[in-house]
Amino acid sequence: MHFPSHATRPGQPMARRLLRAASAGALIALGLLASGCSSFQPPQPWEKGTLARKDMTFETDPLDQRFVQHIYFSKEAASGGYGVGGGGCGCN
Amino acid sequence: MAHFSHFSRIASRLIVSLTMAGAAAAAVALTVGQPAPALELPGVQGNISLAAAKGKVVYVDFWASWCGPCRQSFPWMNEMQAKYGSRGLQIIGVNLDAKREDADKFLAQTPAKFTLAFDAKGDTPRAFAVKGMPTSVLVGADGKVIEQHSGFHDDDRKALEDAIVAALAKAGR
């Protein structure tokens, strides 16, 4: 594409270059956004040593936590991952 | 305009590669009846490999010091090794702790009377598609996967032992 007004307005090529850089940056940012967290790996089952630590649980009292989790999984039909019954290893 | 399309090509390539990296995470799976993946790891003394144990029924157990059911499984594995070792069973306990000290501390409290191997990098559990801790994989004398088991309950003992006995019988032992 040719814009004959180039010669008359010397400021424009700079502006276009800036616009081009900005749109390229926006596209890369969009790319990162679109892929979201898919490039980040969740911890694998064997990598949960730190997560299984007692001080990584949400509650301080193990018995209370067990109780709360029991109610939770009875209602939600889902369990595991909170360090109850198996140290957060997903095996109950 | 040519510059713009060049940039957009780079950006779209970036999108594609990032999504592919995400999708590649859960690609591995272990198939029963197929040859077991290679396992070559440092042990307590020298290297431990699955290939070297060919002809034996191998029970590969992936464990870590922080995993409660793993601790429960150790006495059972000791018992199995003592009971069926002479008939050709080899239990390989693959430790997956990031720090070796953690494993050593665990072993001081919970002795293991079977072969131990150490994989701090986690390449073997990835190859064996470990989904929970502990995970055991029973490999037949022909080197093929018989079954994979996740977790360790008291009620699992019988079924696991039966599978070992069946594998030994199939190997003619």
Domain assignment present for B88: yes
Chain B environment of A23 (Cβ under 8 Å): 4, 7
B133: nearest CB among A28, A31, A91: A91
Comparing A30-39, A70-79, B12-21, B28-37, the range with the smallest average pLDDT is: B12-21
**Residue B94 backbone dihedrals phi, psi, to 5 degrees:** -95, 115
Domain CATH number, residue B146: 3.40.30.10
Q: Using CA coordinates, name the residue in chain B closest to A39.
A: B22
Write the secondary structure of A53-68 as one string of H (helix), E (strand) and C (coil): CHHHCCCCCHHHHHHH
Evaluate whether B171 touches B88 at the Cβ level (below 8 Å): yes
Is residue B13 domain-resident? no
Q: What are phi and psi of B88, to 5 degrees?
A: 105, 25
The verdict on A28 touching B (C-beta cutoff 8 Å) is: yes
Task: Give the pLDDT mean for B86-94.
Answer: 96
Which of A16, A89, A92 to probe by mutation at the B interface, max B CB count within 10 Å?
A: A89
Report the half-sphere exposure of B11 (CA within 13 A, side-chain side).
Answer: 20
DSSP state of B43: B
| Interface predicted TM-score of the whole assembly (ipTM), two decimals | 0.73
User: Predicted confidence band at B86 (pLDDT cuts at 50, 70, 90)?
Assistant: very high
Residue B69 CA: distances (Å) to CA of A86, A91, B147: 6, 8, 19
Return d(Cα B152, Cα B70) in angstroms, integer: 7
Nearest-Cα distance to chain B for A32, in Å, is 7
Q: Quote the CA–CA distance of A82 and A48 in Å, as a whole number.
A: 11
Please state, for a pLDDT cut of 70, what percent of chain B lies above it.
84
Mean pLDDT of A18-33: 86
The range of the structural domain enclosing residue B145 comes to: 29-170
Q: Do the domain assignments include residue B144?
A: yes
Q: How many domains, in total, are found in chain B?
A: 1
Rounded to an integer, what distance in angstroms lies between the CA atom of residue B51 and that of residue B37? 10
Q: Which stretch of B20-24, B50-54, B76-80 has the lowest confidence by average pLDDT?
A: B20-24
Is residue A23 within 8 A of residue B76, CB to CB? The reply is no
Answer yes or no: is B40 within a domain. Answer: yes
Residue B84 falls inside a structural domain:
yes
Eight-state DSSP code of residue B151? S
The reply to whether B8 falls in a domain is: no
CB contact under 8 A, A91 and B18: no
Residue of B nearest to A18 (CA): B4
Does residue B42 lie within any of the structural domains?
yes
Residues B38-51: tens digit of each pLDDT: 999 999 999 999 99
| pLDDT confidence of residue B26 | 44
Tell me the nearest-neighbour CA distance from A75 into chain B, angstroms.
23
Residue B70 contacts residue A87 (beta carbons within 8 Å) = no
